[in-house]
Amino acid sequence: MKDIKLFIKNIKKYFRYAVRSAKAELKSEVSDSYLNWLWWVIEPLCFMLIYVFVFGTVFKASEQYFATFVFLGLTAWEFFNRMLNGSVKLIISNRDLVTKVYIPKYILLLSKSFTYLFKLFISFGIVFILMVFTKVPITLNILYMFPILIVLYIVSFGIGMLLMHFGVFLDDLANLVHIFLRMLLYLSGVFYDITTRLGGDLAYYLVRLNPIAFIMNQLRKTVIYAGNPSFEGLAFWLVMGLIILFLGIHVIHKNENSYAKVI
Amino acid sequence: MKKENAISVKNLHITYRGLKKTSIRASWKHLFNKVEKFEALKGVSFEVEEGQILGIIGKNGSGKSTLLKAIAGIFSSDKGYVDLHGHTISLLSIGVGFNKKLTGKENIYLSGMLLGFSEDEIHQKEKEIIDFADIGDFINKPVKTYSSGMHSKLAFAITAILETDIMLIDEVLSVGDAKFKKKSYNKMKELINDDKRTVIIVSHSLGTIKELCDRVLWLHDGLVKDVGKPQEIIPEYEKFMLENKN
């Protein structure tokens, strides 16, 4: 309980900092390039075109509304992927800051997550434009994306906290995470529908035990196919996400001031 | 009337140990082997009153910098605690943490917020900081393009203009060119002489300590060897250092 109170207090205290730092970082990312902020739109758009071509034309995928299907999945996946890959080396890449002033370390992750959220919402904008273009029926069920995204955020933030902690001490964790995420990319059904392609027990477990596959499935079900999400599933991952998050908060509180001694 | 304490340090222990960087393969071994420890501070207790200027002396490796970092909250204690009684604090020596990708101006805000100031307060002092740092147009360029001199000038300007209640100074600064050095030394003296400001100075220059401090703490091998007036402690320390040379 003490951990949670302190966590909330710190988030409140440093929220403005996190927002400001995220804004500044987004600005600095594009300030030197010729096309400037257009990159935030061009980049995801190009990736989508590549995947749609490769999987739609080369592998002849048959999913309905395939382009939107891929791009929606990719949007959720990119956020998850960035959060996990970004958190491993987060403390070390902020060495200058961490060794000179006290800052609750999850504020670094919070700030990073804001930049990823920003990109996520741009990506969603493209999804909607795509839906209009490819004549996907738009229903109110789209609004289910918000609770689903909240679950995605909490799960990613929790896992990110743990990776951030272990990333300080284990030099090669980044490599492991990288490989693991690559495997997950292909196993989570970003480019295909797990249930129809794999079927059987394998698909059953892949969809249920893998948070990102579950989230992608739910997003597609509600946003593209106008269905209802699995509320039990969402509740389950919400609780799991909160447990991981509390674990992360506890570990960070216990160790954060030792990081400066290591890096 | 007795003044209130600004800093209380009680039985502070700091150990560097098993937190060394390692690979996953090596970490299996760690589970079974004992990890070597190094105790930098072995139970330090002292108090500093509000407005006091405390000098810390001691030979290399006696734990001075570790102590400062612990007071600033960058290191955690393994035992004991540091209580700042709600005062804001900054470490003047190593400056503030910059995000090198961001511009100097953005870094003024971010570091200021980490020192405990609101965006409005920083906004009011922004111009003063930029004038003091005196690095021209570079203030709008990313910090990674700065020379080391510009880097420290900006860092000093931020901590000096955004005045915190407690200031920790590690070695009296020699920042930038001769002109800036003089300016920063004067500014520092002005800050130190403020009656309400509590200051801790770590220095090897006994002259500076004698000139600036009201009290001196002598740290030896992670323990407090003596605390008292500069006139009493410094001769003793000088004698001790001479004897230990032979």
pLDDT in tens, B176-207: 678 888 888 888 888 888 888 898 988 888 88
Asked if residues A139 and A221 have their Cβ atoms less than 8 Å apart, the reply is no
Q: pLDDT category, A167, cuts 50, 70, 90?
A: very high
Between A20-24, A54-58, B16-20, B231-235, the lowest mean confidence (pLDDT) is in B16-20
Asked which of A224-233, A250-259, B152-161, B170-179 is least confident by mean pLDDT, the reply is B170-179
pLDDT-based confidence at A141, cuts 50/70/90?
very high
Q: What is the ipTM of this complex?
A: 0.81
Give the mean pLDDT of A139-161.
95
The total number of structural domains that make up chain A:
1
Residues A91-106, mean pLDDT to the nearest whole number: 87
Nearest 10 degrees: Cα torsion B195, B201, B206, B208: -50
Residue range of the domain that includes A177: 2-262
Question: In whole angstroms, what is the distance from residue A106 CA to residue A118 CA?
Answer: 18
DSSP state of B243: H
Burial of residue B4 (CB within 10 Å: 0-12, 13-18, 19+) is: exposed
Distance CA A96, CA A228 (A): 47
User: In the structure, what pLDDT confidence band is assigned to residue B174 with cuts at 50, 70 and 90?
Assistant: low
- Tokens 């273009």 found at: A133
How many CB contacts within 8 angstroms connect chain A with chain B? 98
What pLDDT does A208 receive? 80
Q: How far is B240 from chain A (nearest CA, A)?
A: 31
Task: Tell me what the mean pLDDT of segment A66-76 comes to.
Answer: 89
Which are the contacts of B14, defined by CB distance < 8 A and separation ≥ 6? B39, B40, B41, B63, B66, B67, B70, B75, B77, B78
Domain boundaries, chain B: 52-77+88-245
Chain A nearest-CA distance from B213, in A, is 24
**What integer pLDDT is reported at residue A189 of this predicted model?**
83
A12 touches chain B (CB under 8 A): no
B117 and B124 Cβ atoms separated by less than 8 Å: no
Q: Taking all residues of chain A, what is their mean pLDDT, rounded to a whole number?
A: 89
Chain A interface includes B121 (CB < 8 A): no
Provide the pLDDT for residue A151: 97
Question: What fold characterizes domain B52-77+88-245?
Answer: Rossmann fold (3.40.50)
Question: Is 0.80 topped by the overall pTM?
Answer: yes
Partner B contacted by A1 (CB < 8 A): no
The minimal CB distance from A101 to the residues B22, B27, B96 is found for B96
Kindly list the residues from chain B whose CB atom is less than 8 angstroms away from the CB atom of residue A101: 72, 74, 90-91, 96-97, 111, 114-115
Phi, psi of B48 (to 5 degrees): -125, 130
